[in-house]
Structure 1
Amino acid sequence: MKKKHTQKRKVALLGLTLGLSLILSACSSSEGKSEARDPGQPLHVVTTIAQISEPVSKIGGDRVQVESLMGPGVDPHLYKPTPGDIKKLDSAEMVLYSGLHLEANMIKVFEQLGKNKPVVGIGDTIPEEQLLKDTGGAIDPHVWFDIDLWKQALEAAAEELKKASPADAEYFEANKKAYFAELDRLKQEAEDKMADIPEEKRVLITAHDAFGYFGRLLDVKVVGLQGLSTEDEVGLSDIERTVDLLLEHNVPAVFVESSINPASVNAVIEGARQKGLQVSLGGELFSDAMGAAGTEEGTYLGMYRHNVDTIHKALSGKGD
């Protein structure tokens, strides 16, 4: 059954890839190469996830126009680009994506686009020895939860902006340094908050395994019911092991994610209840997607701070 499902999925992905390739070819043949950019016009950048677009808009300032394909609640692991997305990508002067196989359904599209413009997976620039892997050797793509690693990725993005618009290089560098100083302050704030949680309670249980870098950076044990990708299935044994962990550490709360179905987390809460442990829903965390544009959680700094505050409040029992 699983083999048949995999074969169907491969056929579907092949059809999607062929369809998108035709769209890309049509765009390229009808529009031709982009005309040289007017130095007075902002550089047009399209990104996949908001964790890239919002920081890049800070670094680029008014010299860059940034669009993100994926908004709040969107799961990048499963995302398939629409014809409208392809047109946006094709019209951009630069495309920045996370990489590390996060946007798995878009790889062929990136390869095609990369023949005519800068298309950069900023996470792919991080040295492999600094990355986390699961037991099967797959790289964890959720690198934005390690602030130091995400600075490396954003550094690569800033360098691409400088290459595309050398006249603005000093402006981009100054903005980057100011933004990185904010990231350093956020990291210190996060370290202080997590250290305030008793060590035995410092256990973060979520719907899927997106918080490994967060845990490594801030000394938190992390358990994701699904694997690195939301395509992974949650089995009864996964739920039972998680319930046992809750009982062992007397963990008071578990968390849902804004872009993930909460069913598995609710099953853990019920399983713990049946064994005599009252576990609360600690709140909603942002993992693969950020909050709505125009809100504090719609910024990388605000999203990260929301997660830290939510975890601290639920696991420390102190409230903020």
Structure 2
Amino acid sequence: MKKIVFILLTFVFISACKDSEPSNGNLNIVTTTTMITDLVTHIGGDKLNIQGLMGSGVDPHLYKASEGDVSKLANADLIFYGGLHLEGKLVEVFQKMESQHIKTIAVSDALDTKTLIGSEYFASNYDPHIWFDVNNWELITNFVVQKLSEANPENKALFEENGKTYLEELKSLDADIKSIISTLPEEKRILVTAHDAFNYFGQAYGFEVVGLQGLSTATEAGVQDVQNLATFIIDKKVKAVFVESSVPKRTIEALQAAVNSKNHNVEIGGTLYSDALGNAGTPEGTYIGMFRYNVNTIVSALK
């Protein structure tokens, strides 16, 4: 019943606040995660009015739209979101946007489903953490350039030029990542984190990846999960495990305690950025800076 009331109230609120915000003539773009906000900003520059819903450290799996968010969405010309149920609690809101003729675009539509990592435990049946393969992000960059050019053809040349520049930066990032990882022996390339956000990273860069929680942080880790992973860490002689900026660190601390209780030691190797970038204005506040930081942190801790 509460769910039905929320949907009805959202619909009424959308209708009431539509066109309530001023525009400078630029397209009004709303993005969900910080990664998507960063990408659209690189491509659109000052030719777009861009508003990101989520900030640093925000978990998109559990994010709920506020009244202010609904107002932003209602006044958007385009909405870019991750898709694959990454923003699970916003799916119904996006559906209402479509009913109000506001175009919503899932950046995951840029990818062939044959390249996605499946999961029988997740609502979409695919892992939504697609940004952790730089090649995926290159395809998504081209996709966003195309969608913005279709919506705003007078700035198509600018979007295409900015996209080309950004793709060159992504290719440089990919080469840097591979170079850094090459310094870590293959047998040490085991990444243990709070939840399963790094499977695309593992597939692309040769890491065995194990998350204490599932693909969504809505999935809780049980005592047996902690004990099983503690045994795995001991058997594989894993030197360090990692917390995530958007996930409470208590689960990894519990894992560390479980390993230590078995007379073994595992360090917390640092904090990784998984479902959100770092603070705005810092290197980690960009996709490229975040990725470099993560890889340096992982390799330094596991050496």
Please give the TM-score of this superposition, normalised by the length of structure 2. Answer: 0.94
Residues in 2 aligned to 1:231 and 1:16: alpha-carbon distance in whole angstroms: 20
1:120 counterpart residue number: 105
SS in 1 for 2:62: coil
Aligned partner (choices 279, 286, 294) of residue 299 of structure 1 = 286
The answer to which of 128-137 and 66-75 deviates more is: 128-137
Residues in 2 aligned to 1:144 and 1:269: alpha-carbon distance in whole angstroms: 28
Give 1:25 shift. Answer: 2.8
Give 1:62 shift. Answer: 2.1
- After the TM superposition, which residues 180-199 of structure 1 pair with which residues of structure 2 at under 5 Å, given as runs? 180-199=167-186
SS in 2 for 1:114: helix
Residues in 1 aligned to 2:301 and 2:270: alpha-carbon distance in whole angstroms: 8
Structure 2 residue 123 is the aligned partner of structure 1 residue 139: no
1:56 counterpart residue number: 40
1:257 counterpart residue number: 244
The answer to which of 193-202 and 290-299 deviates more is: 193-202
1:74 counterpart residue number: 58
1:290 counterpart residue number: 277
- After the TM superposition, which residues 4-19 of structure 1 pair with which residues of structure 2 at under 5 Å, given as runs? 12-19=2-9
Structure 2: give runs of 5+ residues left out of the alignment: none
The answer to which of 194-203 and 169-178 deviates more is: 194-203
Deviations 1:86-119 (A, max 9, x none): 1111112211111111111111211221242321
The answer to which of 12-21 and 178-187 deviates more is: 12-21
Structure 2 residue 26 is the aligned partner of structure 1 residue 42: yes
Residues in 1 aligned to 2:5 and 2:272: alpha-carbon distance in whole angstroms: 34
SS in 2 for 1:108: helix
- After the TM superposition, which residues 199-278 of structure 1 pair with which residues of structure 2 at under 5 Å, given as runs? 199-278=186-265
Aligned partner (choices 83, 86, 97) of residue 99 of structure 1 = 83
CA contact (8 A) 2:74 2:102 kept: no
Structure 2 residue 10 is the aligned partner of structure 1 residue 20: yes
CA contact (8 A) 1:57 1:65 kept: no
Give 1:206 shift. Answer: 0.6
Deviations 1:157-212 (A, max 9, x none): 11111011111111111110110110111111111222221112111111110011
SS in 1 for 2:146: helix
SS in 2 for 1:294: coil
Residues in 1 aligned to 2:232 and 2:240: alpha-carbon distance in whole angstroms: 12
2:70 counterpart residue number: 86
Give 1:152 shift. Answer: 1.6
Letter in 2 for 1:193: I
The answer to which of 59-68 and 45-54 deviates more is: 59-68
**Percent same amino acid among aligned pairs?**
40
The answer to which of 110-119 and 301-310 deviates more is: 110-119
Letter in 1 for 2:37: S
**What is the aligned-residue RMSD (CA, Å)?**
1.8
CA contact (8 A) 2:230 2:255 kept: yes
Residues in 2 aligned to 1:175 and 1:124: alpha-carbon distance in whole angstroms: 21
Residues in 1 aligned to 2:131 and 2:2: alpha-carbon distance in whole angstroms: 30
SS in 1 for 2:63: coil
CA contact (8 A) 2:38 2:287 kept: yes
Structure 1: give runs of 5+ residues left out of the alignment: 1-10
The answer to which of 105-114 and 203-212 deviates more is: 105-114
Give 1:27 shift. Answer: 2.7
Deviations 1:94-151 (A, max 9, x none): 1111111111111121122124232101113311111001244621001011111122
Residues in 2 aligned to 1:13 and 1:49: alpha-carbon distance in whole angstroms: 24
Residues in 2 aligned to 1:122 and 1:283: alpha-carbon distance in whole angstroms: 29
For this pair of structures, how many residues does the alignment match?
A: 300
Q: 1:14 to 1:190 in 2, by over 3 A?
A: farther
Q: 1:195 to 1:12 in 2, by over 3 A?
A: farther
Letter in 1 for 2:15: S
